[in-house]
Amino acid sequence: MLMTAQEYEQSLRRLNLVVYMFGRRIENVVDDPIIRPSMNAVAKTYELAHVPEYAAIMTAASHLTGETVNRFTHIHQNTDDLIKKTKMGRLLGAHTGCCFQRCVGMDALNALSIVTYDMDAALGTGYYQRFLSYLSYVQQHDLTCDGAMTDPKGDRSRPPHAQADPDMFLHVVSETADGIVVRGAKAHQTGAVNSHEIIVMPTIAMREADRDYAVSFALPSDAEGITYIMGRQSCDTRKTEGRPVDVGNPMFGGHEALVIFDDVFVPKERVFMCGEYAFAGSLVETFAAYHRQSYACKVGVGDVLIGAAQTIAEYNGVEKASHIKDKLIEMNHLNETLYCGSIACAAEGRAEASGTYSVNSLLANVSKQNVTRHPYEIARLAQDIAGGLMVTLPSEADLRSAETGKWIEKYLKGRDDVPFENRMRILRLIENLTLGAAAVGYLTESMHGAGSPQAQRIMIARQADMKEKQKLAKRLCGSVADVIRPAGS
């Protein structure tokens, strides 16, 4: 079935999540003014699935049942699916101006569809059928899944089993015929409290000594023993002040959480890896490639920021200046380059043994490496065009004040035919995207989401075929020997 945005909101109200923020328990997560904008962003993924204009991008035919499902619960069946995933990310980024939080779960589902099949083929396990049963449940109810990969890690110089505190990586503490008990935490969990399910995966490749840490499973987000501690964002408490102009993007936002698993029981039918350490690295790399493609969402947010930069240039009366035009061209060039990378790794995808299509991993890593850089330059140029008033504006309360509002209107306006409030709103949006709460989703996620920049460089070094490139060079220059002689010989 396809849930509506309203049905999605009601489904969250039925959850009994344990959530803390600013040192207190949040009893009503859905209506909390800081969390609510992030819920609105996820709701947009449900809303657009019902818009005929976007149906081909936002929905797909389930390969299990043939029924129409939200693309965020779909398993990619061809390169067209992968390309539409990229287009969906850009579409939603443009509609929300922030992270819309369902990509991680979608990428986890697709990675598990590949790796559980491969484990069964190599080891005779029964994980793939378990996964398909779980997938059917997710599709049937159109659930939002949080993909939980990143562990706190503790001392990075030590593997999981050698940590002073064994809980620095989530691990199995006991096992019975009915299931397993796990303990640990997952950090930086995007959209966690807006999710119905948590899909846990290992965070690094592992050896036999770390077998207790090689675990993957899925649980309802309100399972007993799970606690969420909300992360802070720049300017987050502006959402509580009742001044929407100061927020910049009052309707939409994102959130991150630290998720604690305190001796949580996982039923056997929801366990997809338990001790198969040789496949931990495969699951990490498969998920990472998918998720690095997913950063097409930043292109959609970039569309919004470029539009805001053009608008403030017009409001300031400088849109015809040659250097402003050139900066906007550069912003578009960088943004479309990001789009090209995501489309390319999708178009070059291939079928895996399970039938699931994976992206071209080398191109996905190149695409994400660009994402660690280009949004920062786009943001810099937007700030350049906007000017310093973006961060020295008085508050909306001062604008509304009978004592000060007249002076703000008089001295801070730009063009005579543009109301100052319009100028203020677009400046606050640029601030939100490049410095405020949305900058977490546009800039920090661009840098560290789906792994650090160095993680992508390692994969590029591993997957670039340097021997073949050398052959091409040697063939063209007429090299007659493939042996490097010692100096002086």
155, with CB counted inside 10 A (0-12, 13-18, 19+), is: exposed
For 466-478, give one letter per residue: b (16+ CB within 10 A) or e. eeeeeeeeeeeee
Q: Give the Å distances, CA to CA, from 12 to 26, 30, 98.
A: 14, 7, 20
- Would you call 98 a catalytic residue per the annotation? no
Catalytic member of 286, 297, 315, 374: 297
Q: Is 289 helix (H, G, I), strand (E, B) or coil?
A: helix
Q: Which amino acid would we find at residue 246?
A: D
Q: Based on the residue annotation, tell me whether 291 is a catalytic residue of this protein.
A: yes
**H-state helical runs in 266-321:** 280-293, 297-316
Active-site residue, from 9, 396, 431, 445: 445
What are 361's two structure tokens?
A: 């991993």
Q: Does 295 qualify as catalytic in the annotation?
A: yes
Question: Which H, E and C letters describe 214-268, residue by residue?
Answer: CEEEEEECCCCCEEEEECCCCCHHHHHCCCHHHHCCCCCCCCEEEEEEEEEEEEH
Active-site residue (options: 197, 256, 276, 285): 256
Sequence-distant (6+) residues with CB within 8 A of 311 are 426
Q: Which one from 103, 145, 274, 345 is the annotated catalytic residue?
A: 103
Q: Which of the residues 73, 116, 190, 203 is marked catalytic? A: 190
Instruction: Check if the beta carbon of residue 62 is closer than 8 Å to that of residue 139.
Output: yes
Q: Write down the catalytic residue from 9, 45, 63, 99.
A: 99
Catalytic residue among 295, 315, 339, 357: 295
Confirm whether 103 is a catalytic residue: yes
Distance, CA of 94 to CA of 302 (rounded, Å): 8
Positive or negative: CA dihedral 442, 289, 462, 213: positive
Q: What angle do CA 91, 96, 97 make, to 5 degrees?
A: 95
3-state secondary structure of 172: strand
Q: Is 175 a known active-site residue?
A: no
Active site (catalytic) residues: 99, 103, 190, 256, 291, 295, 297, 445
